Structures are given as structure tokens and as C-alpha cells.
Amino acid sequence: MNQKVKGAMAVAVALALTLTLTTPASALGNKTGNCSPSSTFNGYSGQTNPSQTWTIYGDVCGRLGVRVFYQTYSGSPIYYTAWSYGYNSVYRNSPGNTVLGGNHLAERGALSNVQISS
């Protein structure tokens, strides 16, 4: 590999790292997780709508949880709301700031918990 190509690759890697380290990840949207091989739960997060975790497999997925992560202004630390819990469907209102995404949880009792982010 010649020096020009190596230099260009080094610049590309440095730029990618800079963007990755300085820009918080936004994960708004829908995500699906597995409570078991045949049972799923879903998570949704949006900028203005409440974030939600839901399932039709309540007997397998157990207690569900949702919380929102957000920034109060660009470049501020990332904050988290408290968890909201329920069965089959649970909501968490937007804190009114810059929502980055939601964490969604299925507490499966004796089995390990499953967490996804949207």
C-alpha cells in the first residue's frame, strides 16, 4: 500500500472516530427483542410521542419496563427518566427535551432480563 493510500485511510479513520465520539447516538424508532425463541416484545421511542414497550406474550415476557434517554441541550450530558413498569404495554412520556431514544426491558422472572434500545 502506498503512502497516499495509507494517509487517506488514516484521515478517514480519524474523521469517523471524531464523529462517533462527539455525536450521541440517536436510536429513535422501533426495535424488537426476544423473550424466548418464539416470543417477542417491542419497543418504540420518538421525539414527541411517548415511548412504549409492549408484547402479546405477557405470560412469557413478564413485567415490561421503559425509560427515555435525552439531552437538555446539544452537547449536554445524557440523562435518563425513571423506569415505568407494567404488563403487556407500558408508556413513558417524553421529557420535552432532545430525546435520543428509549430503553425497553422484559423482566422474565427466573430467566435473565432482556433489554433493547430504540
- Residue 104 sits in which domain range? 25-117
3: in domain = no
Say how many domains are in the chain.
Answer: 1
pTM: 0.73
Kindly give, in sequence order, each residue whose CB lies less than 8 Å from that of residue 52, ignoring residues fewer than 6 positions away: 42, 43, 44, 66, 89, 90, 91, 92
Whether 48 is in a domain gets the answer: yes
Count how many Cα atoms sit within 13 Å of the Cα of residue 49 in the half-sphere of its side chain: 10
Identify whether 8 is part of a domain.
no
From residue 88, give the alpha-carbon distance in Å to each of 34, 59, 98: 14, 9, 27
For residue 57, tell me if it sits in a domain.
yes
Residue 19 lies in a domain: no
In a domain, residue 18? The reply is no
**Integer Cα distance of 53 and 45 in angstroms:** 9
**Which tens digits make up the pLDDT trace of 82-91?**
999 999 999 9
54 falls within a domain: yes
Each residue of 33-84: pLDDT tens digit? 999 999 999 999 998 889 999 999 988 899 999 999 999 999 999 999 999 9
15 domain residue, yes or no: no
